[in-house]
Amino acid sequence: MTKNGSADPSRKVRQRGSIDVVDAKVAVDLATAQTYSENVFLFVPNLIGYTRIILAGLSLHFMSYHPKYCTLAYVISCLLDAVDGQAARALGQTSKFGAVLDMVTDRCTTSCLLCYLSSAYPNFALVFQFLIALDFSSHYMHMYSSLVTGSRSHKLVTSEVSRILWYYYNDSRTLFFFCAGNELFFVSLYLMKWVDTPIGLGAYSSWLAHLTWPELVAIPSAFVCAGKNIINLVQLWKASKILVGVDLAERAHAREVQAKKE
């Protein structure tokens, strides 16, 4: 206890199980010697992850000259993101490699599309660059804060830490809604550069007379995209506070150890 009667942060012990530390050389040797019957690289959800990467690569290949092929490959890659996790749980093949592969694929795929949008909409290039930076930084800091606090998954967020992140990560429907809506908005922006045929809603309103279907999809999905990036900001802020809290606890512990030596 501190002088004011509050709990000493240096003495606070996690009740949840922490990650067992494995030596890096031992881990490399285990990965090299793994058998075909239990090869993490060949787990079904990880094979789905490789498929996502191939499809994302194809979408990037077609992005500058074939919007139909590009959109089809990109959308399928994104939809498979909802399949690999279910496959992992159903088959008992969850893995740290798969979790990181999934996150890295998500970040890189979206960032590549945003890079293209930066060139397609040069007046908004700074906005797209900010979104890339926010997406990478918030997820990296959240992942790192999860590791240093002993969590086995970045999705294991308690309501005590953040009710917003808890609801976002622990409700699969909410997670899918925001992730899908976010990607849908960016894909709509991409297609707006290729589709210029109005969908014929002029009879309902003059404002809708020249509206194309990508523009129609972009309007509601823009609000979902905004919500997703607000969540990213919350994630970045909470992760920053967790890391600072860990720093303070470690410094307090170091002072306590030094005091005992003296």
Domain boundaries, the chain: 37-120, 124-261
Can you give the pLDDT at residue 37? 77
Does the structure show a pLDDT above 50 at 13? no
Does the structure show a pLDDT above 50 at 15? no
Give tens-digit pLDDT for 49-61. 999 999 999 999 9
The catalytic residue positions are 106
Can you give the pLDDT at residue 204? 63
Can you give the pLDDT at residue 154? 85
Give tens-digit pLDDT for 159-169. 899 999 999 99
Give the whole-angstrom CA distance, residue 10 versus residue 3. Answer: 14
Pick the range with the lowest mean pLDDT from 2-6, 103-107, 255-259: 2-6
Does the structure show a pLDDT above 60 at 14? no
Q: In angstroms, what CA-CA distances link 209 with 197, 200, 204?
A: 10, 6, 8
Can you give the pLDDT at residue 199? 86
Pick the range with the lowest mean pLDDT from 68-77, 164-173, 224-233: 164-173
Give the whole-angstrom CA distance, residue 9 versus residue 246. Answer: 9
Output the CA torsion sign for 217, 220, 226, 229.
negative
Does the structure show a pLDDT above 80 at 72? yes
From the list 85, 62, 81, the residue with the least C-alpha distance to 72 is: 62
User: To 10 degrees, the CA torsion angle through 212, 232, 137, 182?
Assistant: -20
Does the structure show a pLDDT above 50 at 127? yes
Give the whole-angstrom CA distance, residue 167 versus residue 208. Answer: 36
At residue 79's C-alpha, the angle toward residues 68 and 234, to 5°, is 115
Q: What is the DSSP letter of 198?
A: -
Pick the range with the lowest mean pLDDT from 14-18, 25-29, 84-88, 248-252: 14-18
